[in-house]
């Protein structure tokens, strides 16, 4: 059964004027809720007797491996502890194939929010526990048809800047903080190369949320580190964050990203051609990153990503009169005018992807679900009741694209047209 062990941050973060300052906290909390609901739904599916193959599958618990050379390379989590990953070895035909998944969990943009993460698994390996491998990491063929027997790795996220920060100083406003995401990325890949990744015939870099953004940032570098003859591709799940105004007319997310980029020295690890043409924080947005990628990439995103609706379109400080309170927590409570605004948000996503849609090497799966991150749950990845487009689950669509069985450019019709969607409900 799917279990996510994540720790809560102080509830006071919910009350901040700028909820994005605690974006990582919010995501952790929401993932916990999603895990609970997934378990309930999974139990319901079993009770309807969908078959013994699904009913008996448990997710394995995989131990944490710390980076051996973290100290000598200065590759530290926010609190100075060594980063780590979870590795389950491939078997049979998958022994020389590798799938890496970059964990998500928001960002931190100032000393206070980064210090708060130090007391969680999102800022310290001291709080990291063994991981359950589900969804795209599952070892069961019925749940993960194309990648179940590959070498599968979950790279933990503990830097707060999508594995892209790099600052030498360790003291900020009297707090000891290590902004070393880029060094974590390099050290983790180097250690995995020594563990067999260097001999991979096929390699797939994936990530969810902030990890999905990290995947886009590091995709070409990942390709460059692999053997020239290897097939290498990338997938960003719920990592296509939009540079849109909130309902009050403010560029909340751009302002927040600007603070993250400058605090953690991210600009030096963004595309040079981009940062010379515009403000570096704008180069942290996926629509700028994908313009410059040469490695094939798959964009998996819900058109009504609840994280983006709650933190980009309708952050709490933009809805002081509370008219959006119910809608932003449950799409079924949105009135007709709010639905119109959500449809415009969907159009912004599709417009941002319009050029990419013409990319012959790229893949897309844009469904009309109110959800966030769909590769890291059995329920949404590949299950009898999973979301589908053209009668294909996400796992089937991604597999078709990766192995070039067909072109995959799936775009769903507007909400509420898709009855297979798994919508998150917080009310």
| Cα–Cα dist 246/243, whole Å | 10
Active-site position among 4, 218, 287, 372 = 372
| Cα–Cα dist 206/298, whole Å | 9
Q: How far is CA 332 from CA 15, 41, 125, 326, in A?
A: 25, 18, 39, 9
Active-site position among 81, 125, 138, 209 = 209
For this structure, is 262 an active site residue? no
Q: Which two tokens stand for residue 308?
A: 């983006």
For this structure, is 423 an active site residue? no
Rg, Å, the chain Cα set? 20
For this structure, is 209 an active site residue? yes
Q: How many CB atoms lie within 10 A of CB 348?
A: 17
Active-site position among 166, 237, 243, 305 = 305
Q: How far is CA 260 from CA 249, 280, 347, in A?
A: 21, 11, 27
117 closest CA partner among 105, 103, 104, 129: 105
Q: Which residues have a catalytic role annotated?
A: 209, 305, 372
């Amino acid at each position: 059964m799917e279990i996510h062990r994540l720790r809560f941050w102080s509830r006071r973060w919910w009350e901040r004027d700028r909820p994005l300052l605690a974006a990582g906290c919010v995501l952790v909390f929401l993932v916990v809720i999603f895990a609970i609901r997934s378990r309930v739904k999974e139990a319901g599916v079993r009770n309807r007797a969908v078959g013994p193959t699904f009913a008996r599958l448990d997710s394995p618990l995989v131990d944490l491996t710390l980076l051996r050379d973290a100290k000598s390379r200065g590759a530290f989590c926010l609190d100075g502890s060594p980063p780590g990953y979870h590795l389950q070895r491939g078997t049979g035909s998958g022994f020389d194939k590798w799938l890496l998944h970059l964990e998500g969990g928001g960002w931190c943009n100032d000393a206070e929010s980064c210090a708060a993460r130090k007391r969680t698994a999102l800022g310290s390996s001291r709080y990291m526990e063994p991981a359950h491998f589900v969804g795209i990491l599952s070892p069961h063929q019925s749940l993960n048809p194309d990648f179940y027997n590959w070498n599968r790795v979950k790279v933990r996220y503990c830097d707060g800047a999508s594995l892209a920060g790099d600052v030498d100083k360790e003291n900020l406003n009297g707090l000891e903080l290590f902004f070393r995401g880029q060094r974590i990325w390099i050290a983790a890949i180097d250690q995995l190369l020594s563990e067999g990744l260097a001999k991979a015939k096929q390699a797939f870099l994936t990530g969810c949320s902030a990890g999905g953004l990290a995947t886009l940032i590091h995709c070409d570098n990942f390709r460059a580190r692999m053997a020239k003859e290897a097939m290498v591709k990338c997938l960003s799940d719920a990592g296509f964050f939009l540079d849109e105004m909130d309902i009050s007319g403010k560029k909340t997310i751009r302002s927040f990203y600007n603070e993250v980029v400058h605090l953690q020295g991210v600009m030096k690890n963004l595309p040079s051609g981009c940062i010379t043409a515009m403000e570096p924080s704008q180069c942290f947005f996926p629509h700028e990153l994908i313009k410059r990628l040469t490695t094939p990439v798959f964009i998996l995103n819900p058109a009504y990503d609840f994280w983006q609706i709650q933190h980009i379109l309708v952050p709490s400080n933009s809805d002081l009169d509370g008219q959006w309170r119910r809608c932003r927590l449950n799409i079924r409570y949105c009135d007709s005018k709010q639905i119109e605004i959500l449809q415009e948000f969907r159009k912004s996503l599709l417009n941002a992807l319009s050029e990419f849609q013409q990319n012959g090497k790229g893949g897309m799966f844009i469904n009309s679900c109110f959800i966030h991150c769909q590769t890291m749950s059995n329920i949404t990845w590949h299950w009898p009741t999973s979301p589908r487009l053209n009668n294909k689950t996400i796992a089937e669509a991604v597999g078709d694209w990766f192995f070039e069985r067909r072109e995959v450019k799936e775009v769903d019709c507007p909400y509420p047209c898709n009855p297979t969607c798994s919508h998150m409900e917080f009310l």
